[in-house]
């Protein structure tokens, strides 16, 4: 059964060209859910089913419009194993 506890499981760190950074925590049961079956959560949308399992779509928007130097995916402190199927970046142009 999928855990819906709102704990930090993974996220991303945005490092700007001016050396400032910001973290975006993604939480279980809020931004994502277990892939094993469809579980709707408020901060992502069901994208499609894949062999009876779910793929979800979510978007994280940086707080600043400055140039980004790097984006790092972060793992939370628990023993879960988040799976990222794809990551894309849009320019601000």
In a domain, 87, yes or no: no
Query: Which structural domain, as residue segments, surrounds residue 56?
Result: 8-75
Ordered per-residue pLDDT tens for the chain, 93 residues: 344 556 767 888 999 999 999 999 888 889 888 888 899 999 999 999 999 999 999 998 999 999 999 999 988 887 877 888 899 988 877
What is the rounded distance in angstroms from the CA atom of residue 82 to the CA atom of residue 32? 9
In a domain, 3, yes or no: no
In a domain, 50, yes or no: yes
In a domain, 65, yes or no: yes
The whole-model pTM stands at: 0.76
* Count of the separate structural domains present in the chain: 1
pLDDT tens for 49-64 read 999 999 999 998 999 9
């Amino acid at each position: 059964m999928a855990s819906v506890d709102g704990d930090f499981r993974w996220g991303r760190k945005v490092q700007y060209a001016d050396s400032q950074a910001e973290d975006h925590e993604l939480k279980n049961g809020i931004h994502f859910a277990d892939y094993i079956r469809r579980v709707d959560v408020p901060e992502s949308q069901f994208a499609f089913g894949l062999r009876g399992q779910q793929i979800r779509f979510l978007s994280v928007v940086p707080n600043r419009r400055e140039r980004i130097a790097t984006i790092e995916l972060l793992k939370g402190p628990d023993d879960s194993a988040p799976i990222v199927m794809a990551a894309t970046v849009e320019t601000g142009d």
